[in-house]
Copies of this chain bind each other. A is one copy, B any other.
Amino acid sequence: MADRNASRMRRSTTADQIKQLILTRDLKPGDLLPTEAELCETLGVSRSSVREAMRTLATLDIVEVRYGHGTFVGGMSLDPMVEALVFRGVLSPDGSMEALREVVEVRVALDLALAELVVERTHAGEADADALRALVAEMVQRAERGESFLEADRAFHTKLFAATGNRLAEQLVGAFWDVHTAVIPLLEIPMPDDIRQTAVAHGEMLDAALAGDVEAYRRAVVAHYGPLQRSLAAEASRR
């Protein structure tokens, strides 16, 4: 742990200075930052150092660089974590199975743990019920035609969690969904045979949330992950 502190102390000063500059000037996401040349003068370092600091902040989504235009304050999303976790997932052929299992386990945990909050707020009408219904309809329709419905699936989960008012939880759900779907095709796991069951389970989740029935919601969540977890278990036993 002393090692952690030591490495944190050694961290590049320039990036911290730029972060401090964002704070002192009270810049908000989307605001324009000084040019690299200006930062060189302001901070008294070379352009290379500024560029590397910018690179660091850009990978953390603290700033967003637009070629030929300028650098802006970023949205501070969880995309960096997604990238790191996806890479960890593909790092070893065996490890990817394990990594996916862990991601799914955490996804289920988050969905179940925040169920009360989701149901409460959704029941109170703080969710965009129409949009959620439309997403469910689209998923069912696509499932009938044997198509996948990745975008609708992700949108459904994030929209549902948006009602909780907990942006961190909402971003986490989206991030783990991204990791999940990025790692899946790397394994040779067949699509869950019953994609239709997955689609309708989303509808059951929504209905339960709108009705304020926490237990029904939790059952729907479990059912929703059912096909996937069976695929995972089958694949795991095959090795």
- Supposing A84-B80, A91-B23, A112-B113 touch, asked if A102 and B62 sit within 8 A by C-beta, the answer is no
Contact B172 A106 (CB under 8 A): yes
Q: Does A236 contact B (CB under 8 A)?
A: no
**Docked complex Cα distance between A162 and B184 (Å):** 25
Residues of B within 8 A of A56 (CB): 55-56, 58-59
Q: Return the chain B residue nearest A83 by Cβ.
A: B60
Total copies of the chain? 2
Interface majority SS (helix, strand, loop, mixed), chain A: helix
CA distance A80 to B151 in the complex (A): 26
Q: Could you pull out 11 A-B pairs where Cβ atoms are within 8 angstroms?
A: A23-B90, A48-B51, A56-B58, A60-B83, A78-B81, A102-B166, A102-B168, A102-B169, A106-B110, A109-B113, A109-B114
A159 close to B (CB within 8 Å): no
Write the nearest CB–CB distance from A173 to chain B, whole angstroms: 10
The answer to the question of A17 belonging to the interface, with a C-beta cut-off of 8 Å to chain B, is: no
List of B residues within 8 angstroms of A169 by Cβ = 102, 105-106, 109
A61 at the interface (CB under 8 A from B): yes
**Which listed residue (B23, B48, B108, B117) contacts A48, Cβ 8 A?**
B48
Give Cα A117 to B112, complex, Å. 14
In angstroms, Cα B44 to Cα A105, docked, is: 42
User: Within residues 23 to 56 of chain A, which ones have a CB less than 8 A from any CB in chain B?
Assistant: 23, 28, 48, 51-52, 55-56
